[in-house]
Every structure is written in C-alpha cells, then in structure tokens.
Structure 1
Amino acid sequence: MQFNNTWLRIALMAIPGFFLSSPEVLAKKNHSTKQVHSNKQGQGNFVDGIAAIVDTDVITQRELNNRMTAMRVSGNQATPEQVLSLLIDEHLMNAHADQMNIKISNQQLEQGLQSIAKDNNLTVEQLKQAAKQHGINWDEYVANIKQQMKMEELRSQVVRARVNVTERDVDAFLIQHPTGLYADYKKPVAYEPRYEKRQVVERSFDAKAIAFQHIYIRVPDGSSAEVVEAARKKANEALSKIRGGQSFASVARQYSDAPEASQGGNLGIRMNEDWPALFMSVSKKVRDGSTTGVFKAPNGFHILKVLERRGVINETRRVVSVRLPDPPQPQLTPREQAAKQAGPVNVTESNVRHILVRITPVFSDAQAKARIDEIAAKLNAGEPFADVALKYSQDSSASLGGDIGWISPGQADPAFEQAVANLQPGQISAPVRSQFGWHIIEVLDRRTEDKQASIRRDLAHETLYQEQAENVLRDWVQQLRSQAYIDNRLTGEKTTR
C-alpha cells in the first residue's frame, strides 16, 4: 500500500504545513459542486479574515497563507484556489476522523517523529533544535505532525475498507505488463531547455602604483668574473634566508648595498611609470607580499619584494542568458530495477526472531538499554529464547517466540539489518540499537532464491492498489463535500447539502 507513512519522508523545511494530495492528484481534481451563489467581484476579498467556512468550521486567511508558504518552501507550487481546496478537504476529513474516534497515541507520535528525524539524518532532539533554528514552533510542529498522522490513518481506513485487488487482477495485469510496472513508469523525461536572464558584474583591478622593498648587491664596473660570481652567491644567500623564514627587512639590513638598507630596503610607493622598466618587468607576475628571485642588472644583483599595489577597480555590467538545470529524472528503486532486469534476481533472506524493548517518551534509551542487558543475561544463563521473548519482548511477535519470519535486504531498519547480516545461523547477537529501541536478534536460517517473480507480482499489486486507492479517495472526498456546507470566499462559491 502506498498510503502509509511515505508523506513523512520529506526534508525538514517541507514539514511546517502538510497537504493531503500529491501534485498529480491535485491537478486531476475536478469537484463538481452545486453552485448556489457566485460573486466574482468579491473573489479574494477576505475583509473579515475568513477564507472559507466549512459547516461550522472556519478557515482563516492566515491559515491559507501559512499553508501556501509551507508548500512553497517544500518546492510544491500551487495557486491559492488549489491550496484552499485542499484545506477544505482537510477540515472535512478531520471532522470525519473525529466521528470515527480516530486518535494517535503518544507512542505512534514518537515513532513518527523518529522516522522524520531519521530521514533527515538527525535525532529527535537534533530535529527539535533544527526546527528552532528555522523559526518553527516545536509544539505547533508536533501538533501538526499528529494531525497529519490522524489524517493518514483516516485515509488508510477508508482505502482498506473500499479497495480490493484480487489475484486474478494481478494475473491480468502481469499478462500485459510482465515486469509488474507500466512500460512508461519513471521513463526519462525530455525537458525543454529553460533559461534565465541574469546580470553579471565583472570587476578587474588596474594597478597604477606599486611599493617595493629592495636588496641590492653591488658589482662595480669592470669587475672580474670572480667578483661577479661572489656577488651572485651573496644575493642567492640572502634570498635563501628570506625563503627560510627571515624577514625581508632584516636580510636587507644585513646584505644590501643600497642606501635604503638601514630602513629594511623600503623604497616606498611610486607610480608604475616612475619605476625602472626592469623592476616592473620582473615583478609583473609576483603577488602582493611575495618576493622575486635574484635578477641581474648592469650594476649588480637585485631582489624585490612587492609590498602592495594600488589602482582603480573597473566594473562592467552585462546581462547574460543562463540555462537552468533540468528537473531531476525519476529514479527506479532497487526493487524496481530488479523487476526490470533480464535474468534471475537472487536474494539472500534470513529467518529471524528477536526480543525488543521499546524507547518511549516515558521509557528512556538508558532504561531500555538496562532492560535489554537484563534480558541478555537471562539468555546467557540458558533460558530458552522463545520463552524470554514471550515474557519480555514488546513487539507483536512476542506471542510467536519473537519469530518475525524471513526478511530480505532493505526490508528492516538499517542497524537491525546490519546486525542480522553479521550473524551466522544459530547465533544470537549482543544488544542492538535501532530507531525502535533495543533488540536481541537470532538468525534461525538463511536461504538464497530467485525473487524476481514475487517482486514483479508485489509491484503489480501495489500499482493496482494505488490506482484504486486514488479513485476511492477522490470519490470519498467528493462525497464529503456533497454532504457539507461550504462557503469559499476566494472563488465566491457556496455549496449546500
């Protein structure tokens, strides 16, 4: 069934306001209401702050605005008319849920919050802090989650009571669609290129003046080759000390023959054209704060350090057309890929039993860990696994001695599944932490079989169930509308029972 908790699997910022229909269902909606009154001049005019009246319930303009904001944040664009229609449906469904006495327990709520946190790679406490950072009131957030879980449970009950997919239906579907999926299911989409005009600011720096520090090793005119080589060696020695970490100024004081040596070789700042052409040429590719190598001039050897450049920033603005990225292509799940592949799909399954101690708002992680350690001690003392599971496990499998049957990869909590993979048949695990609590796990047996036929059959069943469920929900919501008084202040429409 597709209508369980999948709507919870969304990023944090999509959560402040939920919506009950997918964009596809939203586009298909076409409520054939009996129009009693239409006042086009009053459309969108919420003088009293009321967007709609549903029986005795009121949908405020603030509620509509908040839901639209939440949908925009989550990347779901919809018109005010569409969002208000969803809110009307939600109010009708909430009233019906109250009539059916549907309630969400604290344990169910905690599991829902854990699921959301896990899908965002957070703990519940980290989720709470993230909500605070995004300006989301935690109490309102939790109340909203609880309300949406209530709506989901209502929808599930409605669907379960009205949808029936038979084995013959599945057989007929597989004859036409052997993979269990429609031929165009998640088929790559060819998108028209999308472009956006953007203003680009290009900046460039035009240096007009430069400041140098200088080391000069003098070579008198007519010097012998030995004198020239000694001067070169002295210059290279000075450069080596600079590159070894000594300050340019201290090396200049020690080695330079220039008049400014006592000032650390500081030559000051001058316009570019006022410096010797050789200085400008050698320093052209040297960054501010860096030093040139040793270079020779007719009067000797030189080393320069570029202290800073000054000039003007040139700015050019132009409008360019930028292609926007295409929307992501639909991706097949591993199970769907297995259904479509040619040849067998060999899957290794494990027959597992376990003992679970749940973590709840009133039973902390530390308490659950202490309890599971006590249970582990009983097993180590020789008590039969099935007897201990029956007495202490908080899972529905307790009455079966903890036996949960055969599980396949991807079917269980990742931490639970990893623990199962690390066990040999007949081996019992140490306590294992999952999103549900603390477990002790035993692998009873293991087998490898070709599961492609069963995967395809399951997918076919899910596809047919989903199709029927969408039609059932659409018709059911329409029935609720037909039995209600609705005054839509946005469109000016009113419907009566």
Structure 2
Amino acid sequence: MISLTVPATGIVTAGSLEDINGIVAIVNDDVIVRSELNNQIRQLTATLQQNGTRPPPIAVLERQVLDRLIMKTLQLAAAKQAGIIISDVLLARAVKNIAAENGMSPTEFRVAVESEGISFHAFREDIREQITLTRLRDQRVIRRIEVSERELDAYLDKAAGQFTQRSDYHISHILITTPDGASAEQINSAKKKAEQLVVRLRTEGASFKEIAIAESEGRNALEGGDLGWRNAAQLPSMFIDILAGMESGGISNPIRNSSGFHIIRLNGYKGGERQIITQTLSRHILIRTNEITSDKDAENRLQQLRQRIEGGDDFGALARSHSDDKGSAIKGGDLGWVSPGDLVPKFEATMDALEKNEISHPFKSQFGWHIVQVLDRKEYDNTENVQRTQARNAIRERKANEEGELYLRRLRDEAYIEIRLSDS
C-alpha cells in the first residue's frame, strides 16, 4: 500500500453544468456541484475511518468540506489570473519524483494508483492543482516576507532559554473564530463554546481529532487539528508561554487573539541539545575544463602537482600559481574552517574521507577538477548559528502562515459566494 493524495473532480463552470447535478455553491464565475462535494466527503470519510477517527455528523462534514472546496476554487482562479501555468513537462517530472519516493518506476506507480481505484488522469490533475497552489502561495506570500537582523536579534532575546529547553513541539489545534469587529456578545459566545469544548476534552474523554473535525474553524480542522512538529520559534509566543508548562497529552485553556479562541493539545516535545559539529581546515587546487583543457588534461595536471607536493614542493606555492579558484589561490588554496554542508557534496565527501595532512587523488566536482588536503579538524559548538538559522526560518514560517491566512481571508472577503446546500 502506498500513500496517495486522492484527487477531487475538477471545478466545473456554469456553461458545462448539467441540470441533474445540483449546485451547492457559486464562487464568483465558478460553481461547485453536489457530485463533487459528495465525492470529497466519501474520500474524507474513508480516510477518517481508516485512521480510526469517527466522522462528524454529515451536516458538519458538508460544511467543512465545502469550505475547503470554496477556498481551493478561489485560489485556482487567482493563480490563473496571475498567469501561473503548470506545464505537462513539469507535471510529468513531479509525478516521476513521487514514484521514485515510493520506490517505483513511473509505470509501476501508475499501476499502483489505478489499483486503488483512482483515475491516473485525475491523480495527475490533482498534483497539478497542488503545484499551482504552492506557486500561488510563493508568489503572493513567501516572496514578500523579509526577516531583518534586528528582528532576528529581538526574537532571540525574547526566546532566550527556549532553545536549551524544549525546542520542538508536536501540537494539535482547535480554533473558534470571532469576526472582525466582533461584538461583546459574539466574543462571549465564542469563549463559552471554547470553554465547553475544553471540558469535553478534559473530563469527558472526547477525541481531540473528532472535536477538531466537527467544531474547529482552523485550516487543519479536517486533519483532526494536527499541526505536526513545529520548532518553538515557529509558534506564537502566546502558545510557547503555555506549552512550556504543559506535559504531553495536556489540553490548554482557551487562548484568545484577534482570530478568536484557540485550544491546543500537546502531543509531544523535544529538548534543545547542543549542536556540536566537526569543522575541517583544508586547502585545494582547482583546474577548470574548457575548450582547451579536457577532463583528462585537468586530471593529469593535478596528478603531477600532487606528485610534486608529495616530493616536497610547497602546496601553497603551487596553488597560488596553478589553481583556477582565484579567491583561494591567493591564500595558497586555503578554504578556512568549513562546517558540514558548506561545500558541494562531492568535494565534502572526498575531504571527509581524508586523514589529517593527507592529499586526495584528483576528483571532479561541478566546478572542475580538484585535489584537496586536510590540515586539521576540530569540534565546534555550532548551537548559536543553528539557533539563528532555525529562528530565521521559524520567523519566516510564522509570517508566511499569518500572511497566508490574511491573503486567503482577503480572497474570500472580495469574492461573491453563494451557498446552496439546502437547494441541492
């Protein structure tokens, strides 16, 4: 059994809609039909049952699934307007990669997909939609996000101590929303509902997954509210302050912000160990190939230089006079102290296999032909650099989530949406 994303039928336009297929929603110039909604509900129900989660009442499931279809329709329309087109070549490459991840050839993968009762054409189109939505998010949200050094420093100062304590959290989430400019009555109603859900979760043994699917208005509701593993720096500070005092399996009190009231469940956490790495001090000589210098010529030249060094010639002097890497050549080929991941994989693998003071045989990377010598190694506490990188990525992720939610809200607020569930 392989893990597949089950595709939905496509959004149809009013002109192609048959009378027998009732409309459940009008979204600007598009419509969503009953057959599409039913298909999605069947698929989701099967997935929930397979995972041992009891589906919510059909009316609740209809609302959740229809809302997701509406948002997908809006995003696909926005992508089309933005000129985002996923070519058949790119789609074929993506499907090939998915097949490889499942340890199959493209032909074997197609057979596996169809053996689960899924149309391979529909599967491909679903992948096309997923790539389209990713491109839209990248264009409208991700590319506009910046993280300044001042912002990073301020975040790390505020989060001091978190990295040496709990560094990652696996949480689930329920959101009871309040509208913009909510009245006191609306706020109190949402708060009361959230408090009642907490009681059900804590004292009545209710399933968090089932409650999230049935009641949450968060983006991950249909996944049982599961947000997966998140680095501490990715989470809002109001969550971190509460999670720091919770144990696995704990349920928070309702947490209020501008979106509404949040309930979080701590599924697990990881500690913040020190990041000790091995750094390497090395130097190299590079010979690039071109119309005059072939691969064989470059390899032979480096083999001769290696023999001269082993015969007593100075590596640094030869690097200065022969290396095509001008940046390191003036320093005798010195690359300085490098950390894992700083160099291209082929170069790093060759360097890592060498003993101290050993010189490699000529080898080829994407830049040309090299010989490299390891001068020294040391253990280095890279925790601070790792923390800054994690924090920068986490801030970007948090901003992306926040801006992504705002973008989707704007799409919905600016759209004409008519729900016709009762008419279908």
3-state SS, counterpart of residue 466 of structure 1: helix
Aligned residue pairs, count: 275
Within 5 Å, which residues of 2 pair with 1:83-162? Answer: 83-162=65-144
Secondary structure at 2:86's aligned position in 1? coil
- Closer/same/farther in 2, CA of residues 330 and 155 from structure 1, 3 Å limit: closer
Q: Secondary structure at the match of 2:95?
A: helix
Specify the code of the residue in structure 1 equivalent to 2:23. I
**Which residue matches 1:396?**
none
Q: What SS class does the counterpart of residue 58 from structure 1 fall into?
A: strand
Find the aligned partners of 1:411 and 1:65 in 2 and give their Cα distance. Answer: 52
Instruction: Tell me, yes or no, if structure 1 residue 341 matches structure 2 residue 273.
Output: yes
Aligned to 1:67: 40
Measured after TM superposition, the shift of residue 461 of structure 1 is 1.5
Structure 1 residue 15, shift from structure 2 partner = 0.8
2:296 to 348, 359, 380: 380
Query: d(CA) in 2 for partners of 1:73 and 1:476?
Result: 31
Match for residue 15 of structure 1 among 5, 13, 21:
5
State the secondary structure of the residue aligned to 2:418: strand
Unaligned runs of 5+ in 1: 1-10, 19-45, 197-326, 354-376, 386-399, 432-437, 493-497
Shift of residue 384, structure 1, vs aligned partner: 10
Partner of 1:473: 404
- Rounded to whole Å, the distance in 2 between the matches of 1:350 and 1:103 is 47
Q: Distance in 1 between matches of 2:71 and 2:91?
A: 23
What does the per-residue CA deviation read over 1:233-277, in whole Å, with 9 as the maximum and x for residues that have no partner? xxxxxxxxxxxxxxxxxxxxxxxxxxxxxxxxxxxxxxxxxxxxx
Q: How far does residue 171 in structure 1 lie from its aligned partner after superposition? A: 1.2
Distance 2:91 2:167 in 1: 37
Q: 1:188 to 1:475 in 2, by over 3 A?
A: closer
Structure-2 change in CA distance of 1:422 and 1:453 (3 Å): closer
**Higher RCO structure, 1 or 2 (CA under 8 Å, sep 6+):** 1
How far, CA to CA, are the matches of 1:411 and 1:418 in structure 2?
6
Structure 2 counterpart of 1:458, which letter? T
- Alignment partner of 1:346: what SS? strand
What residue is the counterpart of 1:462 in the other structure? Answer: 393
Equivalent pair of 1:419/1:429 in contact (CA under 8 Å) = no
Q: Distance in 2 between matches of 1:407 and 1:59?
A: 53
Separation in 2, partners of 1:421, 1:68: 55
Following superposition, the deviation at residue 134 of structure 1 comes to: 0.9
1:57 and 2:30 correspond: yes
Q: What's the TM-score, normalizing by structure 1?
A: 0.44
Shift of 1:417: 10
- Relative to structure 1, the CA distance from residue 381 to residue 86 in structure 2 (aligned partners, 3 Å threshold; closer, same or farther) is same
CA contact (8 A) 1:339 1:455 kept: no
Cα pair distance change 1:165/1:180, threshold 3 Å = farther
Deviation at 1:478, TM superposition (A): 1.6
- Within-5 A mapping of 1:171-250: 171-178=153-160, 179=162, 183=166, 185-186=168-169
Judge conservation of contact 1:339–1:452 (CA < 8 Å) in 2.
Answer: no
What displacement does 1:467 show?
A: 1.7
Q: CA deviation at 1:191?
A: 9.1
1:279-318 alignment runs, 5 A limit? none
Equivalent residues of 2:169, 2:270 under 8 A apart: no
Identity of aligned residues (%): 22
Give the Cα–Cα distance (whole angstroms) in 2 for the partners of residues 479 and 328 of structure 1.
Answer: 25
Per-residue deviation, 1:381: 4.6
CA-based RMSD of the aligned residues comes to 5.2
C-alpha change, 1:419 and 1:119, in structure 2 (3 Å) is farther
Q: Distance in 2 between matches of 1:411 and 1:12?
A: 35
What is the TM-score with the length of structure 2 in the denominator? 0.50
Compared CA separation, residues 182 and 166, structure 1 to 2 (3 A): farther
Q: Could you tell me how far 1:418 is from its partner in structure 2?
A: 10
Q: Which has the larger radius of gyration?
A: 1
Paired residues of 1:54 and 1:484 also in contact (CA < 8 A): yes
CA contact under 8 A between 1:173 and 1:180: conserved in structure 2?
A: no
User: How far apart are the structure 2 equivalents of 1:476 and 1:469?
Assistant: 10
Alpha-carbon contact 1:51-1:60 (below 8 Å) kept: yes
For residues 478 and 187 of structure 1, do their structure 2 counterparts lie closer, same or farther at Cα, with a shift above 3 Å needed? closer
Shift of 1:65: 2.5
Contact 2:110 2:120 in 1 (8 A): yes
The answer to which of 176-185 and 124-133 deviates more is: 176-185
Q: Deviations over 1:203-247 (max 9, x none)?
A: xxxxxxxxxxxxxxxxxxxxxxxxxxxxxxxxxxxxxxxxxxxxx
Q: Indicate the SS of the match to 1:97.
A: helix
Unaligned segments of structure 2, at least 5 residues:
9-18, 173-200, 208-224, 235-268, 285-292, 302-324, 327-334
Cα separation, 2, equivalents of 1:137 and 1:411: 44
Distance across 2 between alignment mates of 1:163 and 1:174: 18
Residue 484 of structure 1: aligned partner? 415
1:181 CA displacement: 9.2
Does the 8 A contact of 2:168 with 2:270 survive in 1? no
**Partner SS, residue 117 of structure 2:** coil
Residue number among 60, 68, 81 corresponding to 2:63 in the alignment: 81
Contact 2:25 2:420 in 1 (8 A): yes
Q: Is the 2:164–2:273 Cα contact (8 Å) retained in structure 1?
A: no
CA spacing shift, 1:183–1:466, aligned 2, 3 Å: same
Counterpart residue identity of residue 125, structure 1: T
Distance in 1 of aligned mates of 2:299 and 2:31: 60
Deviations 1:94-129 (A, max 9, x none): 111111111224453344224423433334333222
More helix per residue: 1 or 2?
Answer: 2
Q: Shift of residue 176 of structure 1? A: 2.4
**Aligned counterparts of 2:131 and 2:144: Cα–Cα separation in 1:** 20
Tell me if structure 1 keeps the 8 A contact 2:364–2:370.
no
Structure 1 residues 340, 421: CA separation in 2 closer, same or farther (over 3 Å shift)? farther
Counterpart of 1:186 in structure 2: which amino acid? Y
Q: Does structure 2 conserve the Cα–Cα contact (< 8 Å) formed by 1:13 and 1:73?
A: no
Q: SS state of the match for residue 83, structure 1?
A: helix
1-side partners of 2:74 and 2:133: how far apart? 10
| AA at the equivalent of 1:341 | E
Please name the residue that 1:374 is paired with. Answer: none
Larger mean CA deviation between 168-177 and 442-451 belongs to 442-451
Q: Secondary structure, in 3 states, of the residue corresponding to 2:298?
A: coil
- SS class of match (1:186): strand
